[in-house]
Structure 1
Amino acid sequence: MKTRKILFSIALLMCLSNIIGCSAKKTWSFSEKENTFIGNTAKIKIKKEEKIPLSGGGYAVRVYYKVTNLDSKKTDGYSLILQQINGLYQDGKELDSATIVGAEVDDAETAVTTEIEPEKTEEVYVDYSVINYESEIEISFSEDGSSEERAKYTFKPDNLSEANTKGLFN
């Protein structure tokens, strides 16, 4: 009889945890049509991608983001991007960011420290070193710093136009 009570209690706890887990409010969303990921702290819209010519050889792409700060305090755009994006991947390897520059700023250091007020939106672009221009690139989104992938956006760099880098490398 005691064993039945224990088993019943365990079964009841499992049912309750499933009900609570299933009824938990989803705190993120992704719109494939608009290329937009929304988490608790930021809304990240992918505006476009471009190739970057590298003078020393190699390959890079620039991804333009429209970043909206959904947090209650001002935060720099790059931190908001990092909170929502697990990483960029190509051929199974994670890609490194090369520079971070605000779309209206020619100076990477200034752009990184530019803070976005709550409920305000800024354009930011990030340059990434890539393996080649033939393989698909995947942007993996998470939910506010989680490592669990919630959504992904993919693009092929082979037919992208070249980014305007005039003045950035002088």
Structure 2
Amino acid sequence: MDARAHFHLLARYHAWATQRLLAAVTALDDDAYRRDVGLFFKSVHGTLNHLLVGECLLWFRRFAHGESPRLALDHEAEPDRARLSQALQAGAEAWADAIAAWPAERFEARLRYTRMNGAEVDLPFAPTLAHVFNHATHHRGQITAALTAFGEPAPELDLVYFLQAQKTPTG
């Protein structure tokens, strides 16, 4: 599997896993949803908001538009629960279209951007893109642990479940 096909698969999985997680989170009442449960970004809301900032407002703009936004990782981009969910899902879905449009050689190139502190960064494109999806998986895991602690069922989010749910080969 070439790099573009691999990352396109990860992007589709990412959108699928995001949708399943957001559906599971709807079971939480607002108190539980916003309660500090010891996550790095404190609450389920704080963690979802961090995903919106990191994935959509920072990384996507770096990869897709060559921009270097300056936002704090704990910036509350969307306080409204329903709008946050919609923005996260739309952001997750945007990756697949962007990746499909990139030429194959882009995955062998570099990603250059400016960090929020003004430092210039120059990283290999494909491994840095892998970071984006790995980062989302990390925080989805934190949220599923919080769901379990609240007595709610956690969705199955493993990549193999996504692969089994596919109607066409991913190869």
Q: Which has the larger radius of gyration?
A: 1
Could you say which structure has the higher helix fraction? 2
Relative contact order, CA 8 A, sep 6+: which one is greater? 2
Interval of TM-score (by shorter of Structure 1 and Structure 2): under 0.3
Could you say which structure has the higher strand fraction? 1
